[in-house]
Structure 1
Amino acid sequence: MPDTKPPHLSHIAPVFPVSDLKAAVAYYRNRLLFKSRFEWADTEAEPVRYAILCRDHVELHLSAGAARHPATAYCFVAGIDGYYTSVTEAGADIAEAITDRPWDMREFGARDPDGNMLYFGEHLERIGQ
């Protein structure tokens, strides 16, 4: 009998193209303070070509290959000011400094070595709660 439960989307994981997977993994671990969760190579003799990094409930996938077009993703954060301070001190490439936006978000943008953009934001109404 087929499953009759209604569909429920649970989360999304963006896949960023990167030209140097090892360098990209190091950037996300050391600068944006993510943790490595998974790495894949087709064989033991071949280099890793896919990696998954995570932080809290956020998952980011990196795929080795020519980074033809940079990608962009948005990550919602609780405690945006503390995270901004941490990643800035860790040397993240901050493309857009933290600021309050007219759309009621406090946010900043970080760029990885391949030009992929990861924006981080917190609803202004939640700051200070």
Structure 2
Amino acid sequence: MLTAIHPKLPMRDKVTTRHFYVHQLGFREFGDADYAGYLMVQKEAVQLHFFEFRELDPAENYGQVYIRTDAIEILYQDLQYRGVSIHPAGALQEKPWGQKEFSILDPDNNLLTFGQSI
């Protein structure tokens, strides 16, 4: 029945969000049309959607996505190589719940946590 999930996160500026996800995280824009106030990006099997929310206060944004991977250390090193800032409290580490994780924030303070089962 259920086959996929595509989280929808807020963004203040489509150009800034597109640049971050495409040029820094290595996603590609998804779809044939450029919709006003809406952005879709994809990397491998993960697709994220963004809706325009110009009045968003990043300090009040609690958008979060947990993305599973099977190559956490390679991904972590790749993002560091690309100059992506790791969340101050989100460095790569093993968690007591059996995951190895790290986190980053996008330009609108959406929290992206990447995890792999230990």
Same fold (TM over 0.5): yes
Alignment of 1:21-100 (within 5 A): 21-38=14-31, 39-41=33-35, 48-66=36-54, 67-68=56-57, 69-95=61-87, 96-100=90-94
Q: Percent identity?
A: 26
- Relative to the length of structure 1, the TM-score reads 0.80
Structure showing the higher strand proportion among its residues? 1
In structure 1, the gaps of 5 or more residues are 1-7, 42-47, 125-129
Structure 1 runs (4+) deviating above 2 angstroms are 38-41, 66-70
The CA deviation string for residues 16-38 of structure 1, in whole angstroms up to 9 with x for no partner, is 10101110111011221111113
Gaps of 5+ in 2: none
* Displacement of 1:54: 0.6
Counterpart amino acid of 1:32?
Answer: L
1:82 counterpart letter in structure 2: I
- The two structures, once aligned, show a CA RMSD in angstroms of 1.3
- Please say which structure displays the higher CA radius of gyration: 1
Structure-2-length-normalised TM-score: 0.87
Tell me if structure 2 keeps the 8 A contact 1:50–1:62: yes
